[in-house]
Structure 1
């Protein structure tokens, strides 16, 4: 990985020994895993410079060379900015991680297109002078809270999308469920598809897409449990469907058999993002603190004494 800094419309870095001697085109495609189309356009428009001179695909690199990529050209935000209210967990030249509150849609839909997390990120970009399109890397359900990753330029978006495809972006969730799973740890491997009887639901079905959820019991209460969940796949409603299939639906998730009681959303929070930074190679761990409603739920569950 090469540490790259933003300088106007360019990303600038210094090549290390590990990439010395490689053709620059090979370096971009295989080391950085850039899409072929992206690499072709960068060379075509002379937007790859080595020590200040335009490079060709076959130009060989050397240790200590300065590399410049013109990938931060001004772009329209793509939607109306809404300022204020953004809970920012991490930000640098290439990406940012935002803590999404429960109840807020992540991106505009046909029926809801005025106030979403994307609009708040657009507002942050507007306030900070970031002239970039709003690009979320992954999604969360409207009533799930927690960490969401955004890319700040097209190159970062391509690299982060590739990390997501390779399952190299690890997401850890905290879930509060009804009942007690039989095992302290487990893996649910069941395909998930649409429910033809209910357009908003998904279900376990042999014709569905491959889906894998790992879970670990963190705490047990009298009639509920707190789980940590990790995903190998990213199917719609995956954790909700799999935990319901296990017989332990999320508290508040009435769509999948959970009971609302005094909690009116699924008790699910995207707590931690783990990934290798695409520029520089640092091991990133970004945590989203538990929101106040889940803190209150946990306190309530812990107050009810367990039967001995």
Structure 2
């Protein structure tokens, strides 16, 4: 069932809610990620592993937001034009790059907390940059492969692609469910290690508690934003469902996933201590940011 047959099934009030929600997220996301990228690239004193991962994450989120209006426009048409393919390619590239970077950050935290002795050899700004470059290449390569396979199977744009497509299932499984499994494992391992760490003083206990909550919050945000969409998409493709209910479910869950772009940017202020200090120094010249003596926070962020 195509989008035109389902347009009458979608109430005008729902369309207005979708438009307002998406427009608000687009404006807020561009502002927050633009500010985040500016601080990360020009206001911090040195490049750390965290800074490299977050800068790449901000770029991916910013590019996804820029491609979002074109992607939404071509969802309403049935033309498989080069511009439609380009907009969807940019959208998918940056969505799954964001997912991959969140996975990489979780692995980096896991190594730092669970294997502190090996961390010195495994964690460095150069290695973080190499990981990011590899992820960009892998995601771009897999997207190019998907484009080639989908073109042979009847089009690359969502609006014209057939409902049952094995390549879409494989791409979804590898592009989301594998990073999800890694993220869950690493997050639980980090939280377990933090709770088992001996507390030398009340300050360290408070830092450990906040770090555990931060790791769990990142996991919850990732699951809430991305899991519903990929579950609905997998069910749709696996069962070959093309009903208006499935179409509406995809619209709702996909727009829920857009919120991750804003939540990523907001996390820059609450997760990275060094980012908080840089942000304070840029907004108030009289306020001097002090270096945190808590190495636990620095390690996790």
- TM class by shorter chain equals under 0.3
Give the number of the structure whose residues are more often helix, by fraction: 2
TM-score by length of 2: 0.25
Select the structure with the greater relative contact order (CA < 8 A; seq sep ≥ 6): 2
Larger radius of gyration: 1
As a proportion of its length, which structure holds more strand?
Answer: 1
